[in-house]
Amino acid sequence: MVATSIDPLFHRAVLFDMDGVLTNTARLHSAAWKGLFDQYLAERSPTPSEDHRPFTDDDYRHHVDGKSRVDGVLDFLHSRGIGLPRGDVGDEAGEETAHGLGKLKDEHFRRVLDEQGAEVFADAVSLVESLHQHHVATAVISASRNCSRVLEQAGIGHLFGVRVDGVVAAELELPGKPDPALFLEAARRLGVPPARAAVVEDAEAGVAAARAGGFALVLGLDRAGLPRRLADAGADVVVSSLDEVTIAAPGQRRLSEIPDGLVHWNEISSRLRGRRPVLLLDFDGTLAPIRKDPAQVSLSVRTRAAVQELVQRCPVAVISGRDLSDVRGRVRVEGVWCAGSHGFELAGPGDDPIAQEAGEAALPALDVAEQRLSAELAPVAGALVDRKRFALAAHYRNVSPADVDRVVSAARQICSELPGLRVTHGRKVVELLPDIDWNKGRALRWLLERAGLTGPDLAPVFAGDDYTDEDALREVHEDGLGIVVLSVEHGDRLTWAHCSVDGADRLIELLSRIAPPPGAP
């Protein structure tokens, strides 16, 4: 069994089944099926080869839970030795076909739903909201054609940017669970590969579908006290409540739990174990303070002088989300290595840039995304679209709160329609990047190797402030030192850093202790 945690740096999306996971509609479905089948079996002429006993909870779980109406009718009746024709969508409710009986079941279901309403599971809503705070995308999956009706009744429709339900399945002719088609369609619409997404399911057919779809984590939710059935169907882990799911990876801590690097210097310095530091520094929010206009950002005279001194004492690199030429122009310190576009490009002091080749395949998609995003966001006051060579940023720092969702949704939508791109989030910015396994952490190792800065006598020290810096902080978690520069914008989020500092000036003070002048005590 794997840990019950969703890692926001790895799992870029979580797909939730609806009935039984988000809403307590499973009991309404079960009652509707029972109403249908008990009446049908009672009225059908007895035959020795057929079993006409009443429909049970076990029948619900094994034969209809999670399946489309038509498959549910066929599979349950088959288990009782009864074969019915599939029929056609135009069949009347009650006609003796799978479509006809399925329609009758739906009439039962809608009546009960209108009478009793859809009950929402609080643990699921709380998990979805936490995922959003960590910028993990969410989708809802259901074999039901009543999915949107149930979500709206339950008041949670707004929580899911993507919905793949019985209506979508019929339009696209997607087979139902245990086929993975519904899940794969949702992942496609979110622009996230299954290998980077998790699924939460309470039905055996749904668990089997997610497993068959190659999803990174299949979380079985057993609210019925029968965990074995989900484990047997292929769940990685089975929980009885979504309150048991944490959003973190082992090693991550909350910002509020991280010691201040200067106050706890002795403890922090022991991580370096006498090794020579290699300083790898983020730019915006780390070396330079955040400004409303990214074009107005510069290094203070004091910080530039400090970095100039640090370069005399140890290797220094800046790894930024900005375009390489942009960040080089703003750093302007002799001897510093720079990486731009979140590490897709890098250059040594005075060298020509080299690009991460696999990222180049995404350049045409980024060009199209740039045109479409610029057009889409032109009417949004304050939105700023910024093209870097290997990334496209949509800034919303100066956008009214009511319009922020519009900026983020436009970026997500365009990304889902353009293969080869993925979405990342930063401080009041959403960005599209080439969808390859590359980030500031991978870039950090690339830079160290390129610059010949590897070996047991060297300690990588990374400092950053943003979500995208967490990949680099994770990279140095084992063998180096990670420093997070605090910002009120992030609340008490998770981090891989070992210590924190409160602003650029304190960071410089800490770096000067990490790489002291010759002769310093």
Ligand X SMILES: O=P(O)(O)OC[C@H]1O[C@H](O[C@H]2O[C@H](CO)[C@@H](O)[C@H](O)[C@H]2O)[C@H](O)[C@@H](O)[C@@H]1O
Q: Residue 292 or residue 302: which is nearer to ligand X going by CB?
A: 292
Q: Residue 229 or residue 389: which is nearer to ligand X going by CB?
A: 389
Helix orientation angle between 98-116 and 26-43, rounded to the nearest 10 degrees: 130
Q: Residue 108 or residue 330: which is nearer to ligand X going by CB?
A: 330
CB of 245 to ligand X, least distance (A): 29
Q: Residue 208 or residue 362: which is nearer to ligand X going by CB?
A: 362
Q: Residue 8 or residue 72: which is nearer to ligand X going by CB?
A: 8
> Catalytic annotation on 282?
yes
Tokens 């055996």, located at residue? 204
Instruction: Identify any residues that bridge with 197 across adjacent strands, giving them in sequence order.
Output: 13
Residues of this chain that interact with ligand X (CB under 6 A) are 282-285, 290-292, 294, 297, 320-322, 386, 393, 395, 397, 426-429, 466, 468
Q: Residue 108 or residue 493: which is nearer to ligand X going by CB?
A: 493
What's the one-letter identity of residue 243? Answer: D
113-123 residues labelled b (16+ CB within 10 A) or e (exposed): beeeebebbeb
CB of 441 to ligand X, least distance (A): 13
CB of 295 to ligand X, least distance (A): 8
Q: Are 316 and 310 in contact (CB under 8 A)?
A: yes
DSSP string covering 394-451 = EE-TTS-HHHHHHHHHHHHHHHHHSTTEEEEEETTEEEEEESSS--HHHHHHHHHHHT
C-beta nearest to ligand X: residue: 321
Among candidate residues 71, 282, 284, 465, the one labeled active-site is: 282
Tokens 């039901």, located at residue? 144
Instruction: Identify any residues that bridge with 333 across adjacent strands, giving them in sequence order.
Output: none
CB of 504 to ligand X, least distance (A): 12
Tokens 């991580």, located at residue? 271
Q: At a CB cut-off of 8 Å and minimum separation 6, what does 65 contact?
A: 20, 26, 29, 203, 204, 205
146-180 residues labelled b (16+ CB within 10 A) or e (exposed): bbbbbbebbebeebbbbbbbbebbeeeebebbbbb
CB of 342 to ligand X, least distance (A): 7
CB of 423 to ligand X, least distance (A): 13
Given phi > 0 = left and psi -120 to 50 = alpha, else beta, which region is 39?
alpha
For the annotated catalytic residues, the residue numbers are 282
